[in-house]
Amino acid sequence: MTHALRLFATMFAGSLLLAVFAYGGWYMLNLTAEPMLAAVSVLYSGAALIGYVAFFVFEIAIMLIQAFVFTLLASLYLNQSLEAAH
């Protein structure tokens, strides 16, 4: 149960972080403002997009590690329970 909860919390936190970057970038984009402010808006939105891509790659790496640890520990626990039964 604790493994599933940890895996869920990691996935949820990563999705929340990606949502913050995606919505933040869209929120900051304002092309109807004055030209100088519109340029700053595009820069900040671009930075949010780069952050989104970076954290997406980071989240995929974390998910792969979490899946590996989850599988490893589950197989170890099952092996120990089968050895204890004999």
Mean pLDDT, residues 5-33: 83
The pLDDT value recorded for residue 20 is 85
Q: From residue 29, how far is each of 26, 36, 39, 50, 51 by CA, in Å?
A: 5, 13, 9, 14, 15
Phi, psi of 29 (to 5 degrees): -75, 115
pLDDT for 75: 92
Q: What is the pLDDT of residue 23?
A: 85
Query: DSSP characters for 13-36?
Result: HHHHHHHHHHHHHHHH--TTS-HH
What number is the average pLDDT over the span 16-36?
84
- Average pLDDT in the 34-59 region? 88
